[in-house]
Amino acid sequence: MLQVDISDALSERDKVKFTVHTKSTLPNFKQNEFSVVRQHEEFIWLHDSFVENEEYAGYIIPPAPPRPDFDASREKLQKLGEGEGSMTKEEFTKMKQELEAEYLAIFKKTVAMHEVFLCRVAAHPVLRKDLNFHVFLEYNQDLSVRGKNKKEKLEDFFKNVVKSADGVLVAGVKDVDDFFEHEKTFLLEYHNRVKDASAKSDRMIRSHKSKICFKFEPFFLKVSELFEKTRKIEARIAADEDLKLADLLKYYLRESQAAKDLLYRRSRALVDYENANKALDKARAKNRDVLQAETSQQLCCHKFEKISESAKQELIDFKTRRVAAFRKNLVELAELELKHAKGNLQLLQGCLGILKGNT
Amino acid sequence: MFHFHAQNLFQLEEEEEEEEEDKFDIFVSVKDPEKIGETTLPMFRNKTFTVRRRFSDFLGLYEKLSEKHGPNGFIVPPPPEKSLLGMTKVKVGKEDSSSTDFVERRRGALERYLQRVVNHPSLLQDPDVREFLEREELPRAVSTQALSGAGFLKMINKATDAVSKMTIKMNESDVWFEEKLQEVESADQQFRKLHALVESLVVHRKELSLNTASFAKSAAMLGSAEDNTALSRALSQLAEVEDKMEQLHQEQAANDTFTFAEMIADYIRLLGAVRGSFDHRMKAWQRWQDAQSMLQKKRETEAKLLWANKPDKLQLAKEEIAEWEAKVTQYERDFERVSATVRKEVIRFEREKTKNCKRQIIKYLECLLQSQQQLIKYWEAFLPEAKAIA
């Protein structure tokens, strides 16, 4: 049994500290329950160690959690602070509360995403046994993983370039690729759209806000109250859409990228295998270095078959996971949309009742 | 009772060069429904009639009415402003939604303008109004250049400035007027703010609908690429729902504009007219005061002449005194009359405003309500599809 979660998190000036809490009956660990503090870079280190490990070439490596990004939110809070003099106490407090809520939401999300990563690793029959993973969970000192320096980042970059060039050569499984292609396009567009839309809807709602108190029209007060309330609902709709739809799609973008990487590795192994075959034929023809060529060919064959076998299962699992996650989120999305629409409806009916009743 | 229905038919006419005015043909049909048991208004020849009027004709009517009735303290409803930008777009033949919006806004504003004019019991009696409604061809109004949007605003603002300057001097015996003016001014500010907010709301809603549309397309694409049949169908359904939402957003934006924003714009203009009537009252007061000081001067002259003993000039002085005494009496009466009219008009205005605003707001909210009901229907249809994913 191996259970991992993030029990606590602390947001400091420019970093977030996650408290990773583990419960396990496995003999590899000294205790049954323990916690360590980890930062984002250490998660990335763990992820990269999986990717670079040849043994795991046949598995979908759970995608790394995205870097916590509070810049936008922090900027807004700062701007608010600067503009404090130009608005009423009421306005300021309200805006401050909203921005703080936004900050909190982002914070919660980043915690969730780091947790999901760890849980996926812990759930994977092979990866959960990884030594680095155990070190990550247990070693209560700083792992001292510095971020990649420039040289290493450059190496990464070239690796990616080679990968995409190779990708052109190796077709891979066509239908799955198609799906991923679409998903990538879709997500890039969609993500922007929804972010846009929710930001706009936020602004729209904010512009709905009319703190107008009319001496002439007391019923305007009722109306502005109504708008205040519907605005809150609309803000919640935007947040829910973000969570259920945008985050879902973002996550699956990353996972499908990981799946694509798996396919790429398999294709690469296939190419290597084919090349080894050709080399073997050549060696046999020339009757030179045949044993070497045979060994090499066998290795490649073995590698390819190993990857293919696990890849098949991984992709099936991936599909199942994906379908289940979509189902859950789409159902929840629909239910939330309904809940909010009904809430809006009630508010409108209430207000109309009052207005019509008044003469 | 009068009902107005204005239909739009704008034609692009090429001889726009010399014209500053817009060639904007509107069909206004006036239907006079019969009230059971009451005769229809006798002053009109027919019960139903249709005339063609240019936009400048409306402006001309306003000019005539405000000249005649404004100084008496009546609140003359103002027409919508000229809009160089709006009309240029229309003339250039820009087929986009902003020109159709503009045309519809203008049509609505003109219709409401006329409705207010004929609802006013005194203005309805004015022969110019009757002529406007009935006569086949109206002579072209000439001096409507002054009534461009900016010009109109300037005129109102100048008037208000003058009013505020004079209010300090005026010995306001009736504190009611002072309070009312303040209310009017604060209402004006608030309406303007609200209008700006609603306009930006419209912009955002339109953007939201655009974004929703592209999301719908993307969702459809994703659905077609998905190989799990149930999920694929659900995603296509999602795309459809989002498409319908886009429609809803568009309709809502239209509702925001035509039911809400336009009403507010009307009232901003009307409040300007109310301030104008206060201004006229102020002018009447000033005239009375000036007459009083003139009378005083004449009396001083008479006294001086008595002292200097110039009998022929004295006679003239006495005549002038009599003249100015009469004027003072006249102007005092005028001022009281105008004050009474302004008071009555303002009360009527407030009553009408409350009634109309309320009606419009209710209409607006009912539209929002319908929108939400539609939304609920769409998502309720989608939910089983989502649950069917396996």
Higher pLDDT, B83 or A272: A272
Give DSSP secondary structure letters for B15-54.
TTSS--S----EEEEEE-PPPTTSPPPTTSS-SEEEEEE-
Higher pLDDT, B41 or B217: B217
Q: Which residue from A175, A203, A219 is facing B358, i.e. has the nearest CB?
A: A219
Residues of A in contact with B366 (CB under 8 A): 352
Q: What is the pLDDT of residues A300-357, one digit of tens each?
A: 999 988 888 888 888 888 888 888 888 988 899 899 889 988 988 998 888 888 888 7
Query: For a pLDDT cut of 90, what percent of chain A falls above it?
Result: 13
Residues of B in contact with A225 (CB under 8 A): none
- Answer yes or no: CATH 3.30.1520.10 is held by domain B15-136+143-158: yes
Which of B245, B370, B389 is the best substitution to test chain A (most A C-beta atoms within 10 A)? B389
The pLDDT score that the predictor gives to residue B141 is 57
The mean per-residue pLDDT over the stretch A270-299 comes to: 88
The mean per-residue pLDDT over the stretch A87-91 comes to: 77
**pLDDT at B377 > cutoff 90:** yes
Higher pLDDT, A178 or B54: B54
Q: What is the pLDDT of residues A175-186, one digit of tens each?
A: 444 555 555 555
CB-based contact A200 B211, cutoff 8 Å: yes
CB-based contact B362 A341, cutoff 8 Å: no
The pLDDT score that the predictor gives to residue B333 is 93
Report the range out of A39-48, A77-86, B86-95 with the highest average pLDDT: A39-48
The mean predicted confidence, pLDDT, of chain B is 75
Å between B40 CA and nearest CA of chain A: 29
The mean per-residue pLDDT over the stretch A184-206 comes to: 50
CB-based contact A330 B366, cutoff 8 Å: no
Distance CA A138, CA B192 (A): 63
Nearest CA in chain A to B245: A337
Q: Which residue from A182, A226, A355 is facing B222, i.e. has the nearest CB?
A: A182
CATH pick for A177-358 out of 1.20.140.10, 3.30.70.920, 3.50.50.60, 1.20.1270.60: 1.20.1270.60
Instruction: Place B378 in a pLDDT band, splitting at 50, 70 and 90.
Output: very high
Domain extent listing, chain B: 15-136+143-158, 176-389
**pLDDT at A126 > cutoff 70:** yes
Least confident residue range of A26-30, A51-55, B80-84: B80-84
Higher pLDDT, B227 or B47: B227
Instruction: Place A192 in a pLDDT band, splitting at 50, 70 and 90.
Output: low
The pLDDT score that the predictor gives to residue B173 is 61
**pLDDT at A165 > cutoff 60:** no
The pLDDT score that the predictor gives to residue A189 is 54
Least confident residue range of B186-200, B264-278, B345-359: B186-200
| Residue B382 contacts A where some CB pair is shorter than 8 Å | yes
The mean predicted confidence, pLDDT, of chain A is 77
Q: What is the pLDDT of residues B281-294, one digit of tens each?
A: 888 988 999 999 99
Q: Give contacts of B 351-370 with A, CB under 8 A.
A: 353-354, 357-358, 361-362, 365-366, 368-369
Instruction: Place A156 in a pLDDT band, splitting at 50, 70 and 90.
Output: low
Distance of CA B387 to the CA centre of its chain: 52
The pLDDT score that the predictor gives to residue A122 is 92
Q: How many residues does chain A have?
A: 359
Q: What is the pLDDT of residues B92-135, one digit of tens each?
A: 655 566 667 777 788 778 888 888 888 888 888 888 888 887 77
Instruction: Place B1 in a pLDDT band, splitting at 50, 70 and 90.
Output: very low
Higher pLDDT, A234 or A62: A62
| Residue B194 contacts A where some CB pair is shorter than 8 Å | yes
Å between B97 CA and nearest CA of chain A: 20
| Residue B228 contacts A where some CB pair is shorter than 8 Å | yes
Å between B222 CA and nearest CA of chain A: 6
**pLDDT at A196 > cutoff 80:** no
The pLDDT score that the predictor gives to residue B12 is 23
Instruction: Place B30 in a pLDDT band, splitting at 50, 70 and 90.
Output: very low
Which of A88, A184, A187, A193 is the best substitution to test chain B (most B C-beta atoms within 10 A)? A193
Distance CA A208, CA A228 (A): 8
The pLDDT score that the predictor gives to residue A206 is 47
**pLDDT at A133 > cutoff 60:** yes
Instruction: Place B31 in a pLDDT band, splitting at 50, 70 and 90.
Output: very low
The pLDDT score that the predictor gives to residue B8 is 32
Nearest CA in chain A to B193: A210
Domain extent listing, chain A: 177-358
Residue B231 near residue A327, CB atoms below 8 Å:
yes
Residues of A in contact with B212 (CB under 8 A): 197
pTM: 0.72
| Residue B229 contacts A where some CB pair is shorter than 8 Å | no
Distance CA B268, CA B196 (A): 12
For B23-41, b where at least 16 C-beta lie within 10 A, e where not — what string?
bbebebebeeeeeeeeeee
Distance CA A96, CA B8 (A): 49
**pLDDT at A200 > cutoff 70:** no
CB-based contact A215 B186, cutoff 8 Å: yes
Look at residues B249, B378, B207 and name the one whose alpha carbon lies nearest to residue A337.
B378
How many Cα atoms within 13 Å fall on the side-chain side of residue A254? 15
Neighbours of A217 (CB within 10 A): 19
The pLDDT score that the predictor gives to residue A121 is 93
Residue B30 near residue B6, CB atoms below 8 Å:
no
**pLDDT at A77 > cutoff 90:** no
The pLDDT score that the predictor gives to residue B38 is 24
Instruction: Place B4 in a pLDDT band, splitting at 50, 70 and 90.
Output: very low
Instruction: Place B24 in a pLDDT band, splitting at 50, 70 and 90.
Output: very low
Q: Which residue from A197, A323, A338 is facing B211, i.e. has the nearest CB?
A: A197
CB-based contact A183 B225, cutoff 8 Å: yes
The pLDDT score that the predictor gives to residue B359 is 86
Residues of B in contact with A319 (CB under 8 A): 228
**pLDDT at B15 > cutoff 50:** no
| A3 phi, psi to nearest 5 deg | -120, 130
The mean per-residue pLDDT over the stretch B385-389 comes to: 87
Phi-psi group of B37: left, alpha or beta (phi > 0 → left; psi -120 to 50 → alpha; rest → beta): left
Å between A255 CA and nearest CA of chain B: 15
Which of A204, A224, A335, A336 is the best substitution to test chain B (most B C-beta atoms within 10 A)? A204
How many Cα atoms within 13 Å fall on the side-chain side of residue B378? 21
The pLDDT score that the predictor gives to residue B165 is 57
Residue A169 near residue A65, CB atoms below 8 Å:
no
Higher pLDDT, A247 or A342: A342
Å between B75 CA and nearest CA of chain A: 18
**pLDDT at B33 > cutoff 50:** no
Q: Give contacts of B 243-302 with A, CB under 8 A.
A: none
The pLDDT score that the predictor gives to residue A205 is 44
Q: Which residue from B197, B214, B373 is facing A193, i.e. has the nearest CB?
A: B214
Distance CA B197, CA B181 (A): 25
Q: How large is the angle between the packed helices A218-241 and B311-387, nearest 10 degrees? A: 30
Instruction: Place B331 in a pLDDT band, splitting at 50, 70 and 90.
Output: very high
Look at residues B242, B257, B376 and name the one whose alpha carbon lies nearest to residue A346.
B376
Per DSSP (E only), the strands in chain B are: 3-8, 26-31, 48-53
Distance CA A64, CA A2 (A): 20
Å between A92 CA and nearest CA of chain B: 19
Q: Which residue from A223, A331, A345 is facing B386, i.e. has the nearest CB?
A: A331
CB-based contact B231 A356, cutoff 8 Å: no
Least confident residue range of A25-39, B184-198, B375-389: B184-198
Report the range out of A20-24, A170-174, B203-207 with the highest average pLDDT: A20-24
**pLDDT at A248 > cutoff 50:** yes
Residue A33 near residue A47, CB atoms below 8 Å:
no
Instruction: Place B87 in a pLDDT band, splitting at 50, 70 and 90.
Output: low
| Residue B381 contacts A where some CB pair is shorter than 8 Å | no
ipTM: 0.70
The mean per-residue pLDDT over the stretch B233-262 comes to: 85
What is B176-389's CATH number? 1.20.1270.60
For A228-265, b where at least 16 C-beta lie within 10 A, e where not — what string?
bbbbebbbebbbbbbbbbbbbbbbbbbbbbbbbbbbbb
